[in-house]
Structure 1
Amino acid sequence: MSILIGIIFIALIGYIFDQRRHIKFLKLVNYNQETRHIMTKHQRYLLDHQIETYKFLLDTLGYDRDAISEGNYTKHEPNPEKLQAIQAEFQQKERIYRSKNIQFETELEVREID
């Protein structure tokens, strides 16, 4: 009877150690998934920023984006006030972009990723 209790006790200890190992593994998997989500979110933001930059470029050069999608590539010179407004908006977006980049790099440093 005591041998049976000893075997059950040893099996329970082995089960507990196996569960602890499994918990460590799941924490690592969760950490990696969170990191991948952060990286994906940042890549998506970079693509959005690149698209916005192209839009500002087309506006600055005087092309109408809606007309280009329809096949009309005529250029209209924007007036200086519009150019200043476009430049101010672009500079604001660039400040936000730099801030998001710093935030992303900080998150990577906190996660100890090179």
Structure 2
Amino acid sequence: MKIAIMMVFLGLIGYLLEQRRHIKFLEKVNFNQETRHIMTDHEIFLLKHQIGTYVFSLETLGYDRDEISKGNYTKHEPNPEKLQALYAEFERNESIYRSKNIQFETELELRETN
């Protein structure tokens, strides 16, 4: 009888240890998935920013993105007011880009320390 009780007790201890190991494994998997989602979101933001930069370049040079997609490569010299508005918008977008980049780097550093 004592041997049976001892076997059940050791079995329960082994089961508890296995559950703790499994919980740690699941926490690590969850952490990695969250990190992957953060990195994917940042990559999407970078691609949108890159597209915005290309559109800015085209508009600054005098081309219209919609007209280019239709096959019309006619260059129109933008007026100074439009150029000034484009530069102001570009500076605002660059500021947002820099702050998002700093936020992303900080978040990754914080995740590494945990």
Q: Secondary structure at the match of 1:111?
A: helix
Per-residue deviation at 1:4? 1.1
Q: Which runs of 5+ in 2 are unaligned?
A: none
Instruction: Quote the residue 1:39 is aligned against.
Output: 39
String of CA shifts for 1:65-89, please: whole Å, max 9, x gaps. 1110010000000000000000000
Runs in 1 of length 4+ with deviation above 2 angstroms? Answer: none
Using the alignment, how far apart are the partners of 1:20 and 1:45 within structure 2?
38
String of CA shifts for 1:56-114, please: whole Å, max 9, x gaps. 1111111011110010000000000000000000000000000000000101110128x
Residue identity over aligned pairs, in percent, reads 72
Instruction: Quote the residue 2:25 is aligned against.
Output: 25
Instruction: Quote the residue 1:55 is aligned against.
Output: 55
Q: How many correspondences in the alignment?
A: 113
Using the alignment, how far apart are the partners of 1:35 and 1:107 within structure 2?
9
Instruction: Quote the residue 2:106 is aligned against.
Output: 106
Per-residue deviation at 1:54? 0.4
Q: Secondary structure at the match of 1:112?
A: helix
Using the alignment, how far apart are the partners of 2:72 and 2:98 within structure 1?
34
Structure with the bigger RCO (C-alpha within 8 Å, sep 6+) is: 2
Matched residue type, 2:35: T
Structural RMSD (CA)? 1.0
Using the alignment, how far apart are the partners of 1:46 and 1:23 within structure 2?
35
Query: Normalising by the residue count of structure 2, what TM-score does the alignment of the two structures yield?
Result: 0.96
